[in-house]
Structure 1
């Protein structure tokens, strides 16, 4: 089953990549040092903030799930639109200043050439492999949107959801159960505020009891850690700052932090249970699928060609009355 799912994922990657016309060599002539610049800035950010990598990959995920991978999540004041940053799914999202720093470094080298959407894709890859995870060749050619979609951001996958709505939200953007499990594996690093899981500790779904799928010893650890709803707790209690397969090992031990994590393994009869088992057994199985799913996610409805623009400032659309970013192909 696992091998068949991987094969299907590969076919989907090939199809979507061909359709979107994103390529590895998009900036070879116009910004050849792009990967080096972004990696340098990502490493610098992680050295000063161990959560930086998790912040960056979350931005890429939340960008792609709302009107495609177009940098719309970064806009603070799109004319005539309400920002996605105010959407329910983005409450408390952090790290935009890291993206600002990366963009500034890229603009010094290649002004007006590289989109913010492509920077998010490259920074996410670097965030993973700098912290011990897999690497892959990033595909480029995305352009930046001049619009945002707060309604879409209100309906991002939620930490409070059961499996069926999660599967549907992933399917709505062309991702399957294997992609859902693999991409959820990004919770092998980073932190969550207690507000996003405290309901599991004592009054799950209004029952007056803790979530029965939560390990009792782990529950006590979380109760002790959560001195306030804003306290941040490691997603992975074993290797919190390393990108590895322990996320899946934790799920099998009923130590998934969020409800949306644990349901991947605790939903009886679900396809995801076997996928979790396979990824927990062998790290390379997880890494291989994570690469494929990240590439596949990065190809969700990108703007290409003459669509959109190349933003000079990731938080603002370009002023069409002045010089704007230009095409690179």
Structure 2
């Protein structure tokens, strides 16, 4: 029994240490020009494509939310008279698995239904190539993606922050696991469960939802709100009527335009708090956005962020650091982000 106790305790400590191993100065000696090199790659891409920031932020989010592992360990106490049960939640999330290419019969995450519209992978590839020229075999693709997501926000007028680094790249990427991602049709209970499974709070949920201040949504992701909403209503009554009409005009019931859709907010290339202001005006895009107004706690946070850009920025930075620190499953430093070594 003592051996079981020791083994279980070692397992707990191992999980804890793997999650807490990140450091903002991880590459200070081994690759001191890392951050400026990644920033240059993001800047260059943004000059030619204004959608790059939203793409990189979404890519990082989708990477971090995959492969949740829940480990329950029963540990006998030293006197063996009682058993202590510990539930450990960790994730192999931020391990650059979203960057891996499909191979043979294995469909990778990037080819899963929620990720088909992900793009700008070339930005990470270009950054990786430049970093490899400076520091061969030192920096993980997962760290480059985390840095690029930070730069995407900062270069769009949002806040900047020190990114904890030291992630390793994962070797497993399965399209089937993209079902773990929160869907745009989720209600508040489903959202809360999805985030809590990853150790993220309701404040994290509302703050990270603010990432919808950047980007564009295809019709398929909000069709449920503007056509055949339920058996008695065609349109979601929580949508402002004229706004719903504008969405229906670009996304008719039998839309055949491949890339039709709508901007996620009125300033979709600028990182600001317009998303929350529009949400309170009944001008949100996704059902999951509207869901934030159905709980007193999340509605209060929406109001706070709508009234203060600083409050939003501070909360977003805190939640991004928290989310991007969900690690533990990576085991290598890829030389090419598309392929395992």
TM bucket (normalised to shorter chain) is: 0.7 to 0.9
Instruction: Give 1 or 2: higher strand fraction.
Output: 2
Return the alpha-carbon distance in structure 2 between the equivalents of residues 18 and 87 of structure 1: 28
Show the 5 A alignment for 1:308-319.
308-318=331-341
Q: Which residue of 2 aligns with 1:302?
A: 328
2:217 to 192, 201, 205: 192
Q: CA deviation at 1:209?
A: 1.7
Q: CA deviation at 1:273?
A: 0.5
How many aligned positions are there? 298
Q: Which moved more, 1:189-198 or 1:243-252?
A: 189-198
1:271 to 266, 281, 297: 297
Bigger Rg, structure 1 or 2? 2
Show the 5 A alignment for 1:161-240.
161-226=186-251, 228=257, 230-237=259-266, 239-240=267-268
Return the alpha-carbon distance in structure 1 between the equivalents of residues 103 and 65 of structure 2: 18
2:67 matched to 1:41?
Answer: no
Q: CA deviation at 1:82?
A: 3.4
2:311 matched to 1:288?
Answer: no
Q: Which residue of 1 aligns with 2:271?
A: 243
Q: Which residue of 2 aligns with 1:127?
A: 152
Return the alpha-carbon distance in structure 2 between the equivalents of residues 50 and 98 of structure 1: 13
Q: Which residue of 2 aligns with 1:13?
A: none
In structure 2, stretches of 5+ residues that fail to align are: 1-15, 68-92
The change in CA–CA distance for 1:94 and 1:206 in structure 2 (over 3 A counts) is farther
Q: CA deviation at 1:222?
A: 1.5
TM-score of the superposed pair, with normalisation by structure 2: 0.83
TM-score of the superposed pair, with normalisation by structure 1: 0.86
Return the alpha-carbon distance in structure 2 between the equivalents of residues 71 and 111 of structure 1: 18
Deviations 1:267-289 (A, max 9, x none): 1x442111101111100000000
Return the alpha-carbon distance in structure 2 between the equivalents of residues 162 and 113 of structure 1: 42
Return the alpha-carbon distance in structure 1 between the equivalents of residues 231 and 127 of structure 2: 44
Q: CA deviation at 1:79?
A: 7.7
Q: Which residue of 1 aligns with 2:164?
A: 139
Q: CA deviation at 1:199?
A: 2.1
Deviations 1:166-213 (A, max 9, x none): 110011111011001100100101111111112211311454420011
Return the alpha-carbon distance in structure 2 between the equivalents of residues 263 and 150 of structure 1: 27
In structure 1, stretches of 5+ residues that fail to align are: 1-15, 319-329
Partners of 1:88 and 1:155 within 8 A in 2: no
Return the alpha-carbon distance in structure 2 between the equivalents of residues 301 and 98 of structure 1: 22
Q: CA deviation at 1:148?
A: 1.6
What is the Cα-based RMSD across aligned positions, in Å? 1.9
Return the alpha-carbon distance in structure 2 between the equivalents of residues 137 and 294 of structure 1: 11
Partners of 2:19 and 2:326 within 8 A in 1: no
